[in-house]
Structure 1
Amino acid sequence: MNITFRQMRYFIAVAEIRSISGGAASVGISQSAVTDAIRFIEAELDCEMFARHARGVVLTREGQQFLRHARKIVEAMNDIRGGVGHESASVGGRLMVGATPTVTGYFLPDLLARYRQALPDVQVVIVEEKSDYVEHLLVNGELDLAILVVPGLTRPEALDHDVLLRSEMRVWMAPAHRLSNQDSFSLAELADEPLIDINREELQLVSNAVWARQPVHRRPAYRSASVEAIRGLVGTNAGLAILPDLLYRPWSLDGDRILAKRSRDPLPTVDIGLVWRRLSRHSEAAELFMEAARGKRTMRGKQG
């Protein structure tokens, strides 16, 4: 049997939450990856694990049997990874993590807080640079890990990655905007609207892809690297912005309200990924950081 430990964890998450999307969110991985894992398990065992319905999924009889076995295996693996007599040992050392400004501002703080609380003896050094330079440092072995916007990696032959967060793009506007009473609209309706572009290289690829297949063209009115500046401009009805939910806040610094609306046209997502050098061997501190980033709450730290 070729079912992996990771696939079992995805299966358990879906079984407990009774939803593929909810299970994917709980383990911090893409819904497609969870779906692929379940399909692999079903193909490997030649039976259906879940019955699908409009509100989610429920376990079949075979699924319930597999769940019992999967939980025992995962619990046993966690015990092995903890190690007999190792629970009280403190993991130390230094961990070098690369990131871009978008990641450090809107994704890293909560992750770092949880990691430092569990592993206070690990010195985490964050190196904030442009995406291509972070990749360069990873390939050279100067960084242990990185969290970047993916896809768009310039060295895919040398790097591996896992998607941690998939953030949808929405249209930001002020309540006073003429389209604010609509729940959604097409990009064609925005053709004559002044648009505010974000001037951050890690988001530019996705921003360009929004309009790449559209018969209409955007009319950029402003361009800024500051998300707060963009919020301020949108809040005062100076224009619209198409940005990921990751960056969305309902208010500008001056207290102006900002709405986020869906587009009826398919838009690309902004994917935040955990990136590492292919075939590299990770320290225990790095392995535990990877677990934390993937949403696994099994970190071993100092015992009180």
Structure 2
Amino acid sequence: MKLQQLRHFLAVAETGTLSEAAQRCHISQPSMSASLQKLEQDVDKPLFLRHARGLTPTEYGRRLQQYALRILRTVEEARLSLDDEPVELTGCLTVGVTETISAYLLPRILRWQQSMLAGLAIRFVEDDIAGLQQQVKDRRLDMGLMVTDNVTPDDALRCDVLFTSPRHLWLSSGHPLQQAERITLADVADYPFVRLEMDEHASTWTRYWRTSPVRPEIAFRSHSIEAVRSMVGRNIGITILSDLVFRPWTLDGEHLSRRALVDSIPGMDIGVIRSGGADSAPLQAFVNMLNHNLQRDALLEQQR
């Protein structure tokens, strides 16, 4: 089992077709097919079900998919981490985070801090966007880390975007739109939609549907990304969410895929808010650490 075979396997698992997977990996379709066949021989298990609409991971394939993602990410992180230099710095920070950050970035931030800013004591506080803005203005927080798509401008605060995570359409395995050559918002509107309500995602949803003459029927609303993921995996509906929170399987093992949309969909901006004035050395070091690692994570995502 080779790393390149795992990259090819993940491309097929996510796209559902050899042709699109080959395009993504910049190889020919016969080469992709041969790589997949060799991997199946190596593990001595069928990894995909072949059908008229493409390929769907088997139970063995879904299991391997979870390990392959972890393996490749660990390899890339190990390679890139050699460039990390610990900073000898002491001090205290109080950092506010929103729900999305707590769920999907906080574990990584804690790991980054331990390796790069071990001498810095940080206390994290969770609140909604408005609450974090007020606490930063009142100097109860040194900074807020959040989805900044819908942050209300405030002259008393600085808001800086650290990186943008693209939004894609999420589909269940075997969904009819999997086989479409191109997908528009009008195509999406033909199917029930599962909408995430966390961190004012609904406001962003309204923004990108505003110019469309049609809108989908919302089959389910939830503040839980895992509930949304499960609903999509069970084909209750489809959704449009960012790559930051994407995982190609649900908690009960259903398979998910991503597809790009023809229409322009805003990405999810992750950024920080701070009060006016110069940053302290600990605050600047923490922001630099975030910027370095988030940009690196975005690069890893593009390479996958």
TM tier, smaller? 0.5 to 0.7
Provide the secondary structure at the position in 1 that maps to 2:237.
Answer: coil
- Give the superposition deviation at 1:254: 0.7
Amino acid at match of 1:228: E
Residue pairs, 1:58-97, within 5 angstroms: 90-97=88-95
Given the alignment of the two structures, is residue 295 of structure 1 paired with residue 288 of structure 2, yes or no? Answer: no
Indicate the percent of aligned positions where both proteins have the same amino acid. Answer: 30
Quick check: which one's helix share is greater?
2
- How far apart in 1 are the matches of 2:176 and 2:153? 44
TM-aligned CA distance change 1:292 to 1:154, over 3 Å: same
Q: Report if the CA contact (8 A) 1:170-1:243 is conserved.
A: yes
User: Which residue in 1 is equivalent to 2:282?
Assistant: 285
- Give the superposition deviation at 1:235: 0.6
User: Which residue in 2 is equivalent to 1:117?
Assistant: 115
**May I ask how many residue pairs the two structures share in their alignment?**
210
Provide the secondary structure at the position in 2 that maps to 1:166.
Answer: strand
- Give the superposition deviation at 1:233: 0.8
Q: 1:230-280 CA deviation, whole Å, 9 max, x = no partner?
A: 11111111110111111111000111100111111111111001221122x
Amino acid at match of 1:194: P
Q: 2:244 aligns with which of 239, 243, 246?
A: 246
- Give the superposition deviation at 1:296: 7.3
- Give the superposition deviation at 1:185: 0.5
TM-aligned CA distance change 1:90 to 1:209, over 3 Å: same
Provide the secondary structure at the position in 2 that maps to 1:213.
Answer: coil
Q: Report if the CA contact (8 A) 1:172-1:241 is conserved.
A: yes
Q: 1:56-113 CA deviation, whole Å, 9 max, x = no partner?
A: xxxxxxxxxxxxxxxxxxxxxxxxxxxxxxx999522221001101012222322331
Q: 1:157-189 CA deviation, whole Å, 9 max, x = no partner?
A: 121122112111111111221111124311111
Provide the secondary structure at the position in 2 that maps to 1:263.
Answer: coil
Given the alignment of the two structures, is residue 138 of structure 1 paired with residue 154 of structure 2, yes or no? Answer: no
Q: Which has the larger radius of gyration?
A: 1
Q: Report if the CA contact (8 A) 1:183-1:262 is conserved.
A: no
- How far apart in 2 are the matches of 1:245 and 1:163? 16
User: Which residue in 2 is equivalent to 1:256?
Assistant: 254
User: Which residue in 1 is equivalent to 2:82?
Assistant: none
- How far apart in 1 are the matches of 2:260 and 2:86? 49
- Give the superposition deviation at 1:145: 1.2
User: Which residue in 1 is equivalent to 2:72?
Assistant: none
Q: Report if the CA contact (8 A) 1:206-1:269 is conserved.
A: no
Q: 1:235 aligns with which of 198, 218, 233?
A: 233
User: Which residue in 2 is equivalent to 1:274?
Assistant: 272
Residue pairs, 1:168-247, within 5 angstroms: 168-247=166-245
- How far apart in 2 are the matches of 1:240 and 1:183? 17
- Give the superposition deviation at 1:156: 2.5
Q: Report if the CA contact (8 A) 1:195-1:221 is conserved.
A: yes
- How far apart in 2 are the matches of 1:88 and 1:132? 34
Q: 1:175-225 CA deviation, whole Å, 9 max, x = no partner?
A: 221111124311111223110000113322212212111111221010011
User: Which residue in 1 is equivalent to 2:152?
Assistant: 154
Provide the secondary structure at the position in 1 that maps to 2:288.
Answer: helix
* TM-score, normalised with respect to structure 2: 0.65
- How far apart in 1 are the matches of 2:138 and 2:105? 25
TM-aligned CA distance change 1:287 to 1:171, over 3 Å: same
Q: Report if the CA contact (8 A) 1:92-1:123 is conserved.
A: yes
Q: Report if the CA contact (8 A) 1:138-1:144 is conserved.
A: yes
Output the aligned Cα RMSD. 2.1
Q: Report if the CA contact (8 A) 1:135-1:155 is conserved.
A: no
Amino acid at match of 1:136: Q
- How far apart in 2 are the matches of 1:119 and 1:88? 6
Q: 1:166 aligns with which of 164, 167, 171?
A: 164
Amino acid at match of 1:161: C
Q: Report if the CA contact (8 A) 2:86-2:115 is conserved.
A: no
Q: Report if the CA contact (8 A) 1:233-1:239 is conserved.
A: yes
> Which contiguous aligned blocks of 4+ residues in structure 1 show a shift greater than 4 angstroms?
87-90
